[in-house]
């Protein structure tokens, strides 16, 4: 036998060993036991070439893995999964699988059915269709470092089987792994129901990413692009063609978007209702004119800020803005008085209800009067930083705008007290609210007003940070406007008891909301009188910074103000006794109480605050240095339904 095989004894044949020096050829041996190894030459090639691992006296074979498949094969497998939930589960395996699943377009999902599945009812097929398409009920938001392509891919896969993604907000970007075209491509393929898309501060997103959205999200209705420098007119061209149902467009700080992109939207999006363009230097009269003329009967809201447009755009707005109800013109340096005059005389703004003008040097008395006459349904008018507006223009506006309900003036320094009172005397019967903010031209009246008809319609008065506004003006307002309900006098150091008492005594309807924050010279006498006359209607009282207010005011409030729900006595002179008076009252039901920076409120008020806490929803104890941390901890445990600031 040894001669037959050309070996003798055990010198050249070792039990348990391999006769092949190369380990890769060890698959030619089949072990039969511990002492006998038999060599069998292969009859045919192995179909699966999985490697063998030599371990001691045994040979072990590694388990084959699906990960050895190339992406193309794995993609074909994943797109044949029966439903969205199965694909979502597979996407959780690894980033590789997530990427592949997120790149499956809805048209690429296989429609192959097994024999068993073909026997299911039509109801199941309808459910599968809903599972693929979705209705767009979900909303997702990514901010800062969370804004990455991987998260967008996860959103695209995860929302597909749960109703579909309807709104997506992306703000900020991770410098290393920010949002790129890859992430937007995943959204485009997996979220065809997307209706609202907002992109803020994304320097890595360019035209290719927006083209992906336009190709896959044809239901897009609202697009918000803010500080995306890589986006150009090409993006708007693609969106205009791919998303004809666009109704709301906001563009801010996109320096490469100009007239060509705006004109494309005008041609392809006839249902556009809202337009806001800010700080886009390439957008001029051509783009704005094309939009207004194309969407003359659909565009209802227009906001133009920091653009290089001229009087031509205002003329087009005045003639073609037939459906515009809300108009804002802010920081337009090239617009002159002629533009506002032509806009007012265009007679196209018949439906305009709200108008805001800020930092436009072209606003003058003549232009403002023309606007008042050309906008018969104007209800709310806000004028800010209009340096050339004077008393004459303000009075002319009040006479011309018969439907005006609310007027706000901010930093209009040429307007004086005569223009202020003149507008009240000449306003229409619908005028309800007036606000003055930082108007340095307002001074106190040196002479009283002559006996004139009252402004019965005025319900709300707000004077903030007008240092010249004094007691004489307040007394005159009390006689002129007896139906006041909401009064805000903030930061008026010239107001004293002598001016405010006649005002509250003249109010016949009953004060509801009163804000006297920063009025340093008011005393307890004013609060006690107000509680006595208007306690049955008063709901909100703000005495923040009124340092002369003491416990006497809180006692009067506790006895008379049964409807009061919001009280702020921060930085005042109240003590623990005042808090105790509030707690003893059976009438008062406070929901918000602020005693911030009240140095004489201490731990002794803990029982009183606990009793008040039965109705409190918010309690501000910040900078109350006499209250210990331990007392606050007890309050937090006791008032579990109340938000406490300390």
> What is the Cα gyration radius of the chain?
38
Using N-to-C axis directions, what is the helix angle for 207-216 and 233-242, rounded to 10°? 0
Residue partners of 121: CB distance under 8 A and separation at least 6: none
Nearest to 546 by CA among 564, 567, 532: 567
164: Cα within 13 Å, side-chain hemisphere: 21
State the first-to-last Cα distance of the chain, in angstroms, to the nearest integer.
Answer: 99
Q: What share of the chain is helix, strand, coil (3-state, %, to 5)?
A: 35, 15, 45
CA 613 to chain centre: 32
Beta bridge partners of 619: 593, 644
CA 546 to chain centre: 34
For residue 172, how many other CB atoms are within 10 A of its CB? 15
- Pick the range with the lowest mean pLDDT from 58-72, 300-314, 408-422, 457-471: 58-72
Place of tokens 């406490």: 644
Structure tokens at 419: 């223009």
- 77 is written with which tokens? 């497998």
Two tokens, residue 308: 């290089």
SS3 string of 58-126?
EEEECCCCHHHCCHHHHHHHHCCCCCHHHHHHHHCCCHHHHHHHHCCCHHHCCCCCCCCHHHCCHHHHH
CA 608/CA 457 separation, integer angstroms: 42
The per-residue b/e assignment along 309-323, b for 16 or more CB within 10 angstroms, e otherwise, is: bbbbbbbbbbbbbbb
Confidence of residue 124 (pLDDT cuts 50, 70, 90): very low
Kind of pairing, strands 37-39 and 29-31? Answer: antiparallel
pLDDT at 524 (0 to 100): 97
Q: Tokens 């007290």 sit at which residue?
A: 417
3-class secondary structure, 159: helix
Cβ atoms of 549 and 572 closer than 8 Å: yes
Query: Which pLDDT belongs to residue 4?
Result: 36
Residue 270 contacts by C-beta under 8 Å, 6 or more apart in sequence? 244, 294, 295, 298
On the question of pLDDT at 256 being above 50, the answer is: yes
Minimum mean pLDDT among 58-67, 261-270, 466-475: which range? 58-67
Work out the pLDDT band at 255, boundaries 50, 70, 90. very high
* 121-135, 140-154, 260-274: the lowest-pLDDT one: 121-135
Banded pLDDT at 172 (limits 50, 70, 90)? confident
- Residues 539, 569: contact at Cβ < 8 Å? no
Report the mean per-residue pLDDT for the chain: 85
- At 618-635, the pLDDT tens digits run 999 999 999 999 999 999
Q: For residue 542, list its beta bridge partners.
A: 515, 568
Strand partners of residue 29 = 39
Share of the chain above pLDDT 90, in %: 67
Kindly report, residue by residue over 26-56, the tens digit of the pLDDT.
444 444 444 444 444 554 444 444 444 444 4
> Look-up: residue for tokens 């060993």?
17
pLDDT at 455: 86
> Is residue 423 over pLDDT 70?
yes
Least confident stretch, 64-68, 266-270, 353-357, 551-555: 64-68
Residue carrying the six token digits 């920010």: 178
Reported as a single tens digit per residue, the pLDDT across 590-614 is 999 999 999 999 999 999 999 999 9
- The token duo for 324 is 């515009």
Confidence of residue 157 (pLDDT cuts 50, 70, 90): confident
Which whole-number Å values give the CA distances from 227 to 173, 267, 283, 444, in the listed order? 12, 25, 15, 46
Choose the weakest-confidence range: 46-55, 162-171, 563-572.
46-55
Which residue in 230, 282, 229, 293 sits closest to 259, CA to CA? 282
Distances (CA, A) of 524 to 122, 520, 588: 77, 12, 19
Which of 171-180, 438-447, 465-474 comes out lowest in average pLDDT? 171-180
Q: What is the pTM of this model?
A: 0.81
Who has greater pLDDT, 19 or 93? 93
| pLDDT, position 80 | 72
Q: Which residue has the higher pLDDT, 375 or 60?
A: 375
Task: State the alpha helices, DSSP H only, in 495-605.
Answer: 497-506, 524-534, 551-560, 576-584
Classify 403 in phi/psi space as left (phi over 0), alpha (psi -120 to 50) or beta. Answer: alpha
Q: What is the pLDDT of residue 96?
A: 72
- Separation of alpha carbons 394 and 401, rounded Å: 11
Residue 378, SS3? coil
For 637, other C-beta atoms within 10 Å of its C-beta total 8
Tokens representing 434? Answer: 């007036």
88-102, 245-259, 391-405, 571-585: which range is least confident on average? 88-102
Q: How confident is the model at residue 449 (pLDDT cuts 50, 70, 90)?
A: low
Residue 52: its H or E element = strand 52-55
- Our measurement of the distance from residue 543's CA atom to the centroid of its chain's CA atoms, rounded to an integer in Å, reads 31
Per-residue model confidence (pLDDT) at position 73? 78
pLDDT of residue 591: 96
Asked if 220 and 163 touch (Cβ cutoff 8 Å), the reply is no
Instruction: Please check whether residue 208 is in contact with residue 181, taking contact to mean a CB–CB distance below 8 angstroms.
Output: yes
Q: What is the pLDDT of residue 161?
A: 67
């Amino acid at each position: 036998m040894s001669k037959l095989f050309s070996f003798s004894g055990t010198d050249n044949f070792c039990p348990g060993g391999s006769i092949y020096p190369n380990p890769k050829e060890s698959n030619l041996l089949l072990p039969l036991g511990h002492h006998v190894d038999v060599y069998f030459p292969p009859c045919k090639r192995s179909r699966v070439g999985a490697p063998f691992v030599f371990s001691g006296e045994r040979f072990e074979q590694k388990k084959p893995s699906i990960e050895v498949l190339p992406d193309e094969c794995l993609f074909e497998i994943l797109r044949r999964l029966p439903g969205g939930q199965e694909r979502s589960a597979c996407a959780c395996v690894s980033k590789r699988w997530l990427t592949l699943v997120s790149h499956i377009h809805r048209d690429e999902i296989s429609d192959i059915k097994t024999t068993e599945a073909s026997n299911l009812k039509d109801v199941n097929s309808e459910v599968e269709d809903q599972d693929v398409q979705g209705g767009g009920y979900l909303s997702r938001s990514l901010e800062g470092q969370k804004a990455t392509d991987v998260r967008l891919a996860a959103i695209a896969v995860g929302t597909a089987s749960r109703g579909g993604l309807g709104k997506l907000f992306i703000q900020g970007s991770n410098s290393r792994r920010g949002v790129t075209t890859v992430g937007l491509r995943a959204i485009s393929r997996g979220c065809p129901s997307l209706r609202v898309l907002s992109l803020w501060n994304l320097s890595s997103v360019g035209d290719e990413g927006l083209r992906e959205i336009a190709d896959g999200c044809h239901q897009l209705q609202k697009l918000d692009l803010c500080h995306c420098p890589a986006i150009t007119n090409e993006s708007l061209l693609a969106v205009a063609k791919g998303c004809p149902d666009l109704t709301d467009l906001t563009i801010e700080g996109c320096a490469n978007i100009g007239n060509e992109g705006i004109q494309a939207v005008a041609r392809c999006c006839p249902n556009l209702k809202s337009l806001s363009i800010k700080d886009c230097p390439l957008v001029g009269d051509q783009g704005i004119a094309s939009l207004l003329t194309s969407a003359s009967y659909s565009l209802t809201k227009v906001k133009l800020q920091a653009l290089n447009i001229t009087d031509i755009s205002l003329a087009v707005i005045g003639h073609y803005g037939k459906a515009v109800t809300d108009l804002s013109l802010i920081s337009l340096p090239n617009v002159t008085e002629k533009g506002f005059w032509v806009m007012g005389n265009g007679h196209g703004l018949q439906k305009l209800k709200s108008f805001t003008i800020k930092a436009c040097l072209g606003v003058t008395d003549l232009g403002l009067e023309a606007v008042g006459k050309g906008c018969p349904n104007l209800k709310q008018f806000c004028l800010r930083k209009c340096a050339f507006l004077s008393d004459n223009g303000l009075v002319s506006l009040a006479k011309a705008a018969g439907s005006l309900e609310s007027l706000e003036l901010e930093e209009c320094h040429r307007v004086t007290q005569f223009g202020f009172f003149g507008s009240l005397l000449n306003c229409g019967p619908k005028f309800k609210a007036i606000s003055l903010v930082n108007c340095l031209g307002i001074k106190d009246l040196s002479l009283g007003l002559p006996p004139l008809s009252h402004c019965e319609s005025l319900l709300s008065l707000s004077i903030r940070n007008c240092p010249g506004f004094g007691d004489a003006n307040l007394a005159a307002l009390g006689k002129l406007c007896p139906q006041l309900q909401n009064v805000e006098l903030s930061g008026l150091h010239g107001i004293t008891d002598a001016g405010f008492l006649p005002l509250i005594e003249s109010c016949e309807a009953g004060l509801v909301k009163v804000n006297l924050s920063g009025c340093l010279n008011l005393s307890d006498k004013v609060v006690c009188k107000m509680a006595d006359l208007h306690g049955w209607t008063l709901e909100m009282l703000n005495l923040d910074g009124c340092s002369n207010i003491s416990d006497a005011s809180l006692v009067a409030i506790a006895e008379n103000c049964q409807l009061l729900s919001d009280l702020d006595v921060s930085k005042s002179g109240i003590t623990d006794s005042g808090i105790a008076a509030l707690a003893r009252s059976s009438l008062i039901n406070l929901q918000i109480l602020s005693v911030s920076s009240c140095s004489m409120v201490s731990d002794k008020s803990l029982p009183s605050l606990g009793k008040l806490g039965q109705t409190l929803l918010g309690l501000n104890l910040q900078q109350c240095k006499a209250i210990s941390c331990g007392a606050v901890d007890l309050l937090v445990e006791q008032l579990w339904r109340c938000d406490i600031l300390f």
